Structure 1
Amino acid sequence: MAHSWRKLLLGDFTLKRFIRSFLFIYTCFAVYVYIFSDSMIFLPPESSYEDSPEILKLLTPDQEYISALHLPHRDATYTLLYIHGNAEDLGDIRPLLDQLHTLNVNIFAYDYRGYGTSEGRPSERNAYVDVKTAYQYLRDTLNVPAENIIVFGRSVGGGSALYLAVHKPVGGIILESTFTQAFRVVVPFPLLPFDKFRNLDRIKRVSAPVLIIHGTADETIPIAHGKKLFEAAPEPKLAFWVEGATHNDVPWVDWDAYQNKLQKFVDLLESERNSLYLETGLSQSSR
């Protein structure tokens, strides 16, 4: 009797039926992920701050305002374009920005759409538009030379940082706790024919020096992601594997070592710049 009911409800098992059912389920799954993946990746918290005269408003090309913060330093050569991680906003990261400011760099940070007091909804596409909006503000309004911009992406912010570095000239790239591509954080093999934030592909195409930072105890984005990004990055590059650090405490586990590594990276940028100037001067003098 039970067999008869199972046959009536499910039909006879055949390989063709199995393959057809599998393809149907897989297609439904792929369509669902494609439509809702942005809402699964971006998790904006309730704003931790309110607008004030300190908060800048940058207008995106599609007419939405995103919030930004500029902390100038009178002795700075470089400007750190800081792109924060998920589930945090400018108010949450302000203590870190203040600490980074002590390293004699200008700080410029912004909130993705839907984060903090920024308008709109976050998505991968909008994240790319937002970072280019912040970059153009640095170049056009603050008159920061491209070679003086160090783009710093943390976690999901690394995707925006690498996108910018591929499409615009920058002086250097810092990636902290960043994944190779979004879906690989959940499944370590290509389950779908598409993905979000293809960082591993993009890092191979950058032309600026790279610093990769990752905590050895990161359970959110395992350190294997950081090591793969470092292996794929062209020279010159530096790595900093922070022993015992998890996903959200990398700078605070050993601040002295952290700032020393950032300073070493700035020294690398200066060395590369001096070498370029020397090569350019020799080339011109030989004409």
Structure 2
Amino acid sequence: MNIKRLHSHWKYVTYRVARLLLISYLTVAVYAYGFSDRSILPAGPSTYETLPSLLQIPTPNGQTIAALYKPNSSATYTLLMSHGNGEDLGDLQSQIDDFKAMGLSVFAYDYRGYGQSQGSASVANVYEDSETAYQYLIQTLKIAPNRIVLYGRSVGGGPSTALAARHTSVSGEQSIAGTILESTFISTFRVTIPIQILPYEKFPNQENIRQTHRLSTLIIHGTNDRVIPYWHGQTLYATAQEPKQLLTVEGADHNDVSSVAGMNYSQSIIQWLKTIP
């Protein structure tokens, strides 16, 4: 009798624990799907009111995104910059100048909800905004796809890898020239939980890279990154197809990669650009 009661008790406890775990999982899944955009894209107040040569580019829904185009008459490639989630065009001025000094033309834009772009930030809007910027390059500025290099830093790796996957073909025809991914992740959810526990991802960079063919890729990551650990960069590099390069910056955290790397940062990018087929 006691054994039967004990068995019944443990069966009840097991049921309650399983039910609690299921409710917890569903709560996390619903939050991650419906509300995580606010955590991923916490757009703050704009750091600027206007900038020299500031553009306003219409999006498909009639809103506009702010953008800057800094041409370099001697450039072979134009860099399409997708920035991190805690910055806007006002924060990028010195970095834009640095890329121009490397011999690049630069096109940078703000996601909706950031800077002087209209609307609100969301993962879906970021994808659409990056496509809007890309189409402006090829249709309005008449820049050939094979003269465009994508640059994504941190969250900016999400739209950059998605663009790369959409605009490169197995044959390599009409492909963009290459992608630079700096301090970015394999997916947003796996920054917090290393293993995949949800049936979906937001900004699934690793999967996008896996679907990208014949594209030169440069991965840059600091070994002391406390926001997006270094192993994310290693995994992206391992996933990418050849040709690919990995620039490991010893001792660099999330936001100081270029300063810690020093001249090696610009020299590595310049040398990588020369290897693009």
The TM-score, its normalising length taken from structure 2, stands at: 0.90
User: In structure 2, how many angstroms separate the alpha carbons of the residues matched to 1:138 and 1:241?
Assistant: 31
- Counterparts of 1:185-224 in structure 2, within 5 Å, are 185-207=191-213, 208-224=215-231
Give 3-state SS (helix, strand or coil) of 1:14's partner: helix
Find the counterpart in structure 2 of residue 67 from structure 1. 66
1:229 aligned residue (228, 236, 250) = 236
Number of equivalenced pairs: 259
Q: Equivalent residue for 1:49?
A: 48
Match of 1:174 in 2: 180
1:273-284 alignment, distance < 5 Å: none
Q: How many Å apart are 1:18 and its aligned residue?
A: 2.4
CA distance in 1, matches of 2:176, 2:237: 18
Aligned to 1:82: 81
Q: In the TM superposition, what is the alpha-carbon distance from 1:53 to its structure 2 partner?
A: 5.3
Rounded to whole Å, the distance in 1 between the matches of 2:261 and 2:13 is 60
Larger Rg: 1
Q: Does 1:102 align with 2:101?
A: yes
1:144 corresponds to: 143
| Deviations 1:161-207, CA, capped at 9 Å, x for gaps | 00001111311110000100101100111122222111111111212
Counterpart residue identity of residue 28, structure 2: F
Amino acid in the other structure paired with 2:107:
F
Tell me, in whole angstroms, the C-alpha distance in 2 between the residues paired with 1:191 and 1:47: 35
Aligned to 1:112: 111
What TM-score, normalized to structure 1? 0.87
2-side partners of 1:18 and 1:154: how far apart? 41
Report the AA paired with residue 130 of structure 2.
V
Gapped runs of 5+ residues in structure 1?
A: 1-11, 273-287
Q: Which amino acid aligns with 1:248?
A: N
Instruction: Confirm whether residue 251 of structure 1 aligns to residue 258 of structure 2.
Output: yes
Mapped pair 1:265 → 2:272:
yes
Residue deviations 1:125-169 (CA, integer Å, cap 9, x gap): 111100010000000111101000000000010010000011113
**Structure 2 alignment gaps of length 5 or more:** 1-10, 168-174
3-state DSSP of counterpart to 1:44: coil
Aligned twin of 1:278: none
| 1:21 aligned partner | 20
SS of match in other structure, 1:107: strand
1:51 offset after TM fit, Å? Answer: 2.5
Quick one: distance in 1 between partners of 2:102 and 2:17? 61
Corresponding residue of 2:122: 123
| Aligned-pair identity (%) | 44
Distance 1:134 1:45 in 2: 21
- Give the residue type in structure 2 aligned to 1:74: S
Q: Name the structure 2 match of 1:5.
A: none
The whole-number CA distance in structure 1 between the counterparts of 2:217 and 2:15 is: 50
